[in-house]
Structure 1
Amino acid sequence: MDNLLTLLIDGLNYASWLFIVALGLTLVFGVLKILNIAHGSFYALGAYAAASFVGWAASMKFAPWLSLVAMLLAAVTVAVAIAPVIERGLLRFFYGRDEVLLVLVTYALFLVMEDLTKLIWGANPYFVSEPYGLFGSVDLGRMSYVGYDFALVGLAVVSGLATWWALNRTRQGKIVLAVIHSAEMASSMGINVSRVYTLAFGAGVFLAAVAGAFTAPMISVQPWVSVGVVVLSFAVVIIGGLGSIEGAAIGALLVGLARSVAVHVAPSSELFVIYAVMAIVLVFRPEGLFQRIQARKI
């Protein structure tokens, strides 16, 4: 029983941060119709920025709980500083072009941002230990778990619900949904589609940076940390269906639990199991589990 509980908690913990990353990726695809290969780089920037902000807060002898605020501010800083520059200065020139060209452009952006992080933070790993002990430990049965892991699951739930509420219960969200359905029709009705693109891309970058910032205490922040993240997040959105929040949640849970089972039963098959799940879903549902219904153009 304890082993099963450990397996479930490990799976949920892994799925939580992966869902936040995939949520940003699927939001960007839903609005901008871009498969953003550079999405993992925003995760890495969030992690590096969090390491710097938390380190500065520790050097200033601030209260330990303020390290959580520092991580959130790091994610906001990345989104505000990076998203408008990339979307307005680069991506907007390729809207409506061939999908392969957009993939190549975002892949080139990914390589540039990887070198940029190494130029700013160097090649040595960073460790963010301060926030990890803030939530103490949680005893379940005979096992003790780190409280921070449960806090991360809560953050994923809040992120998903907040995104769903913003899209479905606010005026700006309805505008975004109109652009998702048809950018041309939305533009003809007076909606500033260009601004919606900028805001949606900024929200996607923010979600990736939040995931990076709040997983920084759990990992070693080092170059190329973004590679595995972008591959796994693509697996999640492919399983769940591109552009679907519900699909991103289910896809993250499937990937997290599959990885947890593999790690506990056959560690060498960790990556194989994740891609096997994706392959099985694609065989029976090539469009993903929750692909949105698309209007047929005549």
Structure 2
Amino acid sequence: MTLLLFLAILDGLAYAAQVFMVAVGLTLIFGVLRILNVAHGSFFAIGGYVAATLGTWAAATAAAPVLALPVLLLAAVMVGGVLGPAIERLVLARIYTKEHVLQLLVTFALFMILEDVQKLVWGVQPIFQDGPVRALGQVEVGDIIYTAYQLYLLPGVALATLFGLMWFLRRTLTGRVIVAVTEDREAATAMGIDANRVYLLTFTVGTVLAALGGALASPTTSLVPGVGVNMIVLSFAVVATAGLGQIEGAMLTALLIGLGRSVAVYFAPEFEVVIPYIIMVAVLLIRPHGLFGRPELRRV
């Protein structure tokens, strides 16, 4: 019983790290742009596909072990650097002042378009490339063999992302500008801050984080059409449970949901799928604004 619980915790940490990487980008975008981006799941999927494609290319070269991990970051930067600015400038910039329902419909339309693009480019057959997992080797925990990739790399990257974002937003001039626009765009604009550039930067960073989440997930799962749907639904559960716009809360909530799901896998498999949403509903019934959210004043 004790060993099973320990193994569930290890699995839960790796799973929570993957979910957090996507959820933190979603909550960052909402916190600044105030747009709930349904297309975020497509960035996760495309990041995974590009990482698998680059990984397959790297595996065919003599420097395969050296390139196995860098291609994951390269894939995230490529996807975020191309899709992020293009979508923000060409689409989202036109709907910032529109009704939230219209914003939701536009991002859902983007999601559907990007889903079809994935099928056109990569087809519908499963794609899998585990070069990074093999490059890091295995670790023995008791009598159980784990991959160092899941045991160390995924939680390490998630923690580095959390502390990096906290430092960036609180200690750098650019980060403080982003916080100023988040708190009051009109006042920030009156002080000479270009809110449009802040929106562009924030959306690009959020897109890179989602693509990085997909790239990190690609060596441990088969990529198939619809993989982005599952992750965006789960990310919404994390963000809603934490409170919209709460970066630190997203980490704690991802951990709570990841551990809950993993414990269910070991002790009650029939509840594996619904545990994250049971946690979300239970929290929102008690705290409608999320664990770390707070009511906001609405300007009229």
TM-score by length of 2: 0.96
1:168 corresponds to? 170
Partner of 2:99: 98
What does the per-residue CA deviation read over 1:240-298, in whole Å, with 9 as the maximum and x for residues that have no partner? 11101111011101110111111111212112211110000001110011115645647
Deviation per CA, 1:108-136, whole angstroms, max 9, x where unpaired?
A: 00000000111111111111111112222
Correspondences of 1:147-158 after superposition (within 5 Å) = 147-149=148-150, 150-158=152-160
Match of 1:189 in 2: 191
Does 1:204 find its partner at 2:197? no
* 1:136-172 CA-partner distances (Å, limit 9, x unpaired): 2222333332111021111110111111111111000
- Displacement of 1:193 after TM fit? 0.4
How large is the RMSD of aligned CA atoms in angstroms? 1.2
Is the 8 Å Cα contact of residues 2 and 143 (structure 1) preserved in structure 2? no
Q: AA paired with 2:7?
A: T
Are the equivalent residues in 2 in contact too, given 1:2–1:142 (CA < 8 A)?
no
AA at the equivalent of 1:227: V
Whether the aligned pair in 2 keeps the contact of 1:15 and 1:257 (CA below 8 Å) is yes
Aligned to 1:225: 227
Give the stretch that moved more between structures: 56-65 or 72-81.
56-65
Give, in whole Å, the separation in 1 of the partners of 2:23 and 2:193.
Answer: 27
Letter in 1 for 2:62: K
Deviations 1:165-208 (A, max 9, x none): 11111000000000110111111110010000000000000000
* Distance (Å, rounded) in 1 between the aligned partners of 2:66 and 2:223: 21
Contact 2:289 2:295 in 1 (8 A): no
CA distance in 1, matches of 2:294, 2:65: 43
| Cα distance in 1 between the residues matched to 2:259 and 2:61 | 40
Aligned match of 1:38: 39
Matches within 5 A, 1:278-293: 278-292=280-294
Rounded to whole Å, the distance in 2 between the matches of 1:123 and 1:196 is: 37
Between the aligned partners of 1:189 and 1:292, the Cα distance in structure 2 is 27
Of all paired residues, the percent bearing the same amino acid is 47
| 1:82 maps to 2:70 | no
Distance in 2 between the 1:129 and 1:236 partners?
Answer: 27
Structure 1 ranges of 4+ moved more than 3 A: 292-298
Counterpart residue number, 2:264: 262
1:80 to partner: Cα distance: 0.9
Query: Hey, what does 1:118 align to over in structure 2?
Result: 119
| Aligned residue type for 1:147 | A
Structure 1 segments unaligned to the other structure (5+ residues): none
Deviations 1:23-47 (A, max 9, x none): 0000000010000011000000100
Contact 2:51 2:218 in 1 (8 A): yes
Q: Distance in 1 between matches of 2:87 and 2:282?
A: 35
Q: Distance in 2 between matches of 1:286 and 1:292?
A: 9
Q: Which residue of 1 aligns with 2:48?
A: 47
In structure 2, how many angstroms separate the alpha carbons of the residues matched to 1:126 and 1:140?
A: 29
Q: Is the Cα–Cα contact under 8 Å of residues 28 and 204 in structure 1 kept in the other structure?
A: yes
Normalized against structure 1, the TM-score is what?
A: 0.97
Secondary structure of residue in 2 paired with 1:61:
coil
- Tell me the SS of whatever aligns to 2:124: coil
SS in 2 for 1:74: helix
For 1:96 and 1:9, locate their aligned partners in 2 and report how far apart those are by CA, in whole Å: 44
> 2:199 and 2:6 mapped to 1: Cα distance?
42
Count of equivalent residues: 298
Partners of 1:273 and 1:212 in 2: CA distance: 22
